[in-house]
């Protein structure tokens, strides 16, 4: 186990937990409430991004509050968490809830699966075909579990996998939910 392993495990856990935002729609939480939650999380993320740049002491405090989830390379750029909040909000605001909610769940699960399998069986530090296969499999299972037809599920899972694979580190948090929701919208 390397020094980054606990941080990456914690990041994956948070990523999966973020899927609860997609579950809200299935629990029949009103769309206006989900919109308010997503926009509030995005605003909070933006405020934290600003505070991280306010000074070294503030940045260190925010890093402590993250319980080690921030990567060293995120010190001078937008964090993956902020991009994830933006991706969820974008998917929710641009597409119908019936497409955005499953896209959020796919994003919350397929990306961590790709990272876990890719790190274990692929080439460390790069996207791997093993990780992409895991992302495709998990995305497909998540969509099928939501009783989305086989054709739309496979297409959306493939789009999610390509967006995850093509995205620069962290940028996939923005593109996967939006592109997955777009694919589901086209099929409906």
Q: How many residues does the chain have?
A: 188
Q: What is the pLDDT of residue 133?
A: 95
Least confident among 14-23, 36-45, 92-101, 177-186: 14-23
| pLDDT above 80 for 160 | yes
Average confidence score pLDDT of the chain: 86
Residue 69 pLDDT:
61
- Does residue 7 carry a pLDDT above 70? no
Distance CA 108, CA 86 (A): 13
Q: What mean pLDDT is predicted for residues 97-123?
A: 90
**pLDDT for 21-33, tens place per residue?**
889 998 999 999 9
Domain ranges of the chain: 5-187
- Asked if residues 158 and 137 have their Cβ atoms less than 8 Å apart, the reply is no
CA distance 83 to 62: 17
pTM given for the model: 0.88
Q: Are 101 and 22 in contact (CB under 8 A)?
A: yes
> Over 60: is that where the pLDDT of 12 sits?
yes
Q: What is the pLDDT of residue 100?
A: 97
Share of the chain above pLDDT 90, in %: 51
Amino acid 52: pLDDT: 82
pLDDT tens-place string over residues 51-105: 887 777 776 677 776 655 666 666 677 888 899 999 999 999 999 999 999 999 9
Residue 173 CB partners (closer than 8 Å, separation 6+): 80, 81, 83, 84, 86, 87, 107, 111, 167
Cβ-proximal residues to 23 (8 Å cutoff; 6+ apart), any chain: 101, 105
CA–CA distance from 186 to each of 74, 84, 98, 125, 179 (Å)?
35, 23, 12, 34, 11
Instruction: Give pLDDT tens digits for 134-157.
Output: 999 999 999 999 999 999 999 999
- Work out the pLDDT band at 5, boundaries 50, 70, 90: low
Look at residue 94 in the predicted model and tell me its pLDDT.
98
Q: Where are the alpha helices (DSSP H) in 19-149?
A: 20-26, 31-52, 56-65, 80-94, 97-121, 129-145
Q: Which residues of 150-184 are buried (b: 16+ CB within 10 A; e: fewer)?
A: eebbbbbbbbbbbbbbebeebebbbbbbbbbbbbb
């Amino acid at each position: 186990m390397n020094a980054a392993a606990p941080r990456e495990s914690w990041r994956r856990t948070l990523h999966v937990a973020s899927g609860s935002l997609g579950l809200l729609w299935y629990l029949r939480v009103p769309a206006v409430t989900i919109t308010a939650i997503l926009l509030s999380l995005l605003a909070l993320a933006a405020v934290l991004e600003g505070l991280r740049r306010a000074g070294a002491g503030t940045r260190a405090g925010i890093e402590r509050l993250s319980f080690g989830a921030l990567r060293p390379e995120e010190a001078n750029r937008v964090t993956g968490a902020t991009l994830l909040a933006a991706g969820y909000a974008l998917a929710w605001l641009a597409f119908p809830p019936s497409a955005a909610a499953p896209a959020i769940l796919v994003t919350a699960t397929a990306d961590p699966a790709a990272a876990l399998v890719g790190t274990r069986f692929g080439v460390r530090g790069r996207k791997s075909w093993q990780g992409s296969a895991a992302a495709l499999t998990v995305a497909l299972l998540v969509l099928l579990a939501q009783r989305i037809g086989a054709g739309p599920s496979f297409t959306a899972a493939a789009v999610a996998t390509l967006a995850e694979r093509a995205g620069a580190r962290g940028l996939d948090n923005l593109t996967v939910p939006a592109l997955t929701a777009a694919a589901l919208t086209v099929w409906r």
